Chain A
Amino acid sequence: MRDVRRAVDQHVESNPGVHFNELARNLDIATGQAQYHLRNLRKAGSLDIEEVRGRTHYFPPGYEPWEQRTIALLRRETVRSIIVAALEESEPSAAGLAEDLDVARSTISWHVSTLLEADVAEKTYDQKGRSHITLTRPAETRRLLNEVTPSLPDRLVDRFTRLVDDTLVD
């Protein structure tokens, strides 16, 4: 019992922003067991929780709410790529993002509204009425980006799609 609790604590410590399903899956423990230990650890003050768009993320102590929301979003692939795009070019347009990331406009607007809600980005309009995205705290966002990385399978698939896009789709 103590071992499982320690394992849960260490997993959150080394994976800040891990969400519930991922934690239970990575540690291979039952849902009830994960809930029990997370609740106890939270009562003991060893972890923080932050809920972002219907998913509960767990953090070791020491992250402020804005950092917690940003990390949670950096763990989601599409929204992460929007953040990366906004770090690479200043004020990308929603239309440009949809084209660059090859996702539907509706997908972009869903993720952008998540970013606005979390205060990670702001929306501005140009003279032609097109919407653009600006990060609220770019330097800190970049620091957090390096702290949280997607898993190896995720990156493999990303690179495969880039390879096919570059050579075949264009």
Chain B
Amino acid sequence: MLQSVSDWLSGGEAAALLAVLGLATLGTATLFLTGLAGYRRRRSKVYLLVVSALGLLLARSIVGFGTVLGLVPMPVHHLVEHGSDFVVATLILYALYSSDSPSSVE
């Protein structure tokens, strides 16, 4: 499984990368599931935007594993990771933009 990683990482670095990926996946998956449960309760646009951003964070970790396992080539990896940064930023900015200002309530 680590054959593909050994091309660009030493054994120690590969182990560290796997540990970090494991932690990132655990954290982002927990966050995403929490957000999903929140969205299912509220069903509002703002929640959908936030939970989409959290879903992308989880997707990044999965793509990371894909690269380590040799399933996702490096150029695609970088494209997806930085592309998702842009989309996450856009989603959160749009959530901020579309939320009500306090004075507009009622």
Contacts and interface: CB of A to CB of B under 8 A. Distances in A.
B96 A161 contact: no
B82 interface: no
Interface stretch (A10-18, A112-120, A152-160): A152-160
Report whether over half of chain A's contact residues are helix, strand or loop; otherwise say mixed. Answer: helix
A168 B35 CA distance: 14
B58 to A, nearest CB: 15
Interface stretch (B1-9, B61-69, B73-81, B98-106): B98-106
Interface in A123-170: 153, 156-157, 160-161, 164, 168-170
Band of interface residues on A = 10 to 19
Contacts of B50: 164, 168
A102 interface: yes
A170 B102 contact: yes
Contacts of B100: 169-170
Contact of A102 (B35, B37, B42, B99): B42
Contacts of B102: 170
A157 B38 contact: yes
Interface residues of B, number: 17
Contacts of A156: 34
Nearest to A78: B41
Given A161-B42, A164-B50, A169 B99 contact: yes
Contacts of A169: 44, 46, 99-100
B96 A164 contact: no
A164 B45 CA distance: 12
B42 A153 contact: no
Contacts of A102: 42
B59 interface: no
Interface in B20-40: 34-35, 37-38
Contacts of A164: 38, 46-47, 50
21 contacts: A153-B34, A153-B37, A156-B34, A157-B37, A157-B38, A157-B41, A160-B35, A160-B37, A161-B38, A161-B42, A164-B38, A164-B46, A168-B46, A168-B96, A168-B99, A169-B99, A169-B100, A170-B99, A170-B100, A170-B101, A170-B102
